[in-house]
Chains A and B, each alone.
Chain A
Amino acid sequence: MNARIYAAALRESLEGKTASEQGKVLTKFLKYVKARRHEKLLPGILASLKKGGTEKGKETLIVGRKKDVVAARKAAGTKVGATIDPNLVGGWQHFKDGVLTDASYKRSLMELYRNITK
């Protein structure tokens, strides 16, 4: 058993539970870890929990300009909060469940540059 596996198991167990239920799950979890004498892994478990889950479940929306937000949400079919990254120049990128949908100006310009300089 390693910290990452413990963290993944804990994360899954906490999903969809109320605050008090989560508290009970956490108590049982800590009891289990102590019984297995794996307390040394607790810092690693905490670090893994802070890092976040696997690619599954993660969703982000990044836009190049503020005015792209509405169009991006509509095109990506999502209501998640958008981050502005001027590096994209324009357009948007949507990441969900390990799949990246890239409709940024930056990507188009990079592709154009590579085709011209081939």
Chain B
Amino acid sequence: MDAIIKRIQKEIDTFTPVKHQEEVGHIKSTGDGIVEIEGLENAMMMEMVLFDKTHDRSLEAALKDDSLTYGLVLNLEEDGVKAAILGESNTVYEGMLVRRTGRLLSLPVGDELIGRVLNPLAEPVDGKGKTGAKTFVPIERDAYSVIERSPVNVPLHTGIKAVDAMIPIGRGQRELIIGDRYTGKTTIAIDTILNQKNESPKNRPICIYVAIGQKESKTARIVAELEEKGAMDYTIVVTASAAEPAAIQYLAPYAGAAIGEYFMDRGQDALVIYDDLSKQAVAYRQLSLLLRRPPGREAYPGDIFYLHSRLLERAAKLSKDKGGGSLTALPIIETQENDVSAYIPTNVISITDGQIYLESDLFNKGLRPAINVGLSVSRVGSAAQTKAVKKVSGTVRLELAQFRELEAFAQFASDLDKDTKDRIDSGRRMTELMNQDKGAPMPFEEIAAILFAAGDDLLNDVDPAKVRELEAEFKTFLAREGVMVLEAIKKDKEISEDSAKKLAELVKTFKDRS
């Protein structure tokens, strides 16, 4: 044993550690999640830096706590840099050594992330252990050019009748969901994720839900609902709660986009929901003010538009040469007192390919989803609508528009002609038909069948208050006796003549029985 000890001792005495050279700086000041670093003259913008906790500690103390705290370089200044702390601020102190990593901020991506709940650095927060993802991609990258894209022509079914009929969304589109607090914005997003279960596994997009500045209880509830309904099998949740530093909330949407792009680049479809970008704008404003960048309108920095435009431009439908994959974005913006003409809402409306506008008045009246059809639009339109739904939804929007005009008139007029009364009643029935329960998305073939039936006088002379009940009964009837027709519509993606004939017969049978 003595001989062994002596030999090991000799090895230690003659040990020559390898020299390692790197550019370092020291923290000059720190506060509110921002550090001012002296040195690091060659640091890059958006480079990750490492706050070295071990530098002035003993080896034993360093080994006990070997967690790494990173920072993100956001300001390049004359004699140093400013960086945001991506982690616990209380572990960073003045005089601390800061090392360059030479890497721009990147995160691990892969199929291993599916079903997991992560933070914006792709670290798991669901307590299920490491993800094991090994492919690193930069959190920010340039959007695909015009030549590399193809037109949006494949529908993304939300399972919500009002949306799929009148505001159809395509894969690769950016459709904004905008409205006041508690108007059902998140519900539309979650129902869209749940509805992807009705797609075949080959056709099903990978869904990424990015929670920005949300209450952790809300995110936990959403994850529980997705798990309960089996949607976590194809969903990734990225969360940066209200308790996280502003830098983490700022990065969350870009992390979601980077994860979605991984799947898009492999020829798959992906859907990313940013809930919500108003909170990202507020976080970015906080960061910019702390970095002493000049404030502009409403104290937002001058590049607040670019914050959202470069994020949303990453959604695309790629050309066949690039694999044909797509990334669909559903950004959410919260308005104050239904003001869509405010700064951030108007910015994002001008970037996206349409908006779904939710009104609190409609919500309080019982219309759910509380979509204002008049102000909502999909700029891609019927190019991204399944033929089956397109065929039967043509007149719905027009009918509802006419109803809205007449509805106000009807409150004041005492004597209405029969035609006007009929239109008002028809509009009321159609409005009721557009109502849908939360968490109950419908497959497109069912939506097509119901709208077909509505157009085929199913709702004639029905009391508007009883429309939902009738719809539920008809759905049950279809599930029992219309399975073949629904299968045919699902397979063909359109209502053929034969299917139309059979549907008409089913409607007649149903009406005769009830």
Contact = CB atoms under 8 A, between A and B. Distances in A.
A100 B24 contact: yes
25 contacts: A54-B39, A54-B79, A55-B38, A55-B39, A56-B41, A75-B19, A86-B58, A90-B15, A90-B17, A91-B17, A98-B24, A98-B39, A99-B22, A100-B22, A100-B24, A100-B99, A101-B19, A102-B20, A102-B21, A102-B22, A103-B17, A103-B18, A103-B20, A106-B59, A110-B59
B17 A104 contact: yes
A110 B66 contact: yes
Contacts of A86: 58
B63 A110 contact: yes
Given A55-B41, A102-B19, A110-B59, 6 more contacts: A54-B80, A95-B24, A102-B20, A106-B59, A107-B17, A113-B63
A105 B79 CA distance: 31
B26 interface: yes
Interface of A: 8, 54-56, 75, 86-87, 89-91, 95, 98-110, 113-114
A55 B63 contact: no
A55 B25 contact: yes
B469 interface: no
B202 interface: no
B57 interface: yes
Contacts of B19: 75, 101-103
A101 B19 CA distance: 6
Interface residues of B, number: 28
A54 B237 CA distance: 44
B54 A110 contact: yes
A104 B16 CA distance: 9
B40 interface: yes
B23 A99 contact: yes
Contacts of B26: 55
Given A103-B18, A113-B63, A98 B79 contact: no
B479 interface: no
A113 B61 CA distance: 13
Contacts of B58: 86-87
Interface of B: 15-26, 38-41, 54, 56-59, 62-63, 66, 79-80, 97, 99
Contacts of B18: 103, 108
A99 B21 contact: yes
Contacts of A109: 59
B43 to A, nearest CB: 10
A28 B132 CA distance: 64
A87 B57 contact: yes
Contact of B59 (A54, A87, A114): A87
A44 to B, nearest CB: 13
A100 B21 contact: yes
Contacts of B17: 90-91, 103-105, 107-108
Nearest to B26: A55
A54 B4 CA distance: 49
Nearest to B59: A106
B303 to A, nearest CB: 25
A9 to B, nearest CB: 12
B59 A89 contact: yes
Contacts of A89: 59
B39 to A, nearest CB: 4
B99 to A, nearest CB: 8
Nearest to A114: B66
B56 A87 contact: yes
Given A54-B38, A55-B38, A101 B66 contact: no
B73 to A, nearest CB: 15
A63 B56 CA distance: 13
A116 to B, nearest CB: 11
A113 B65 CA distance: 12
Nearest 9 A/B pairs, CB to CB: A55-B39, A98-B39, A100-B24, A103-B19, A108-B17, A91-B17, A101-B21, A103-B17, A87-B58
B267 to A, nearest CB: 32
Contacts of A105: 15, 17
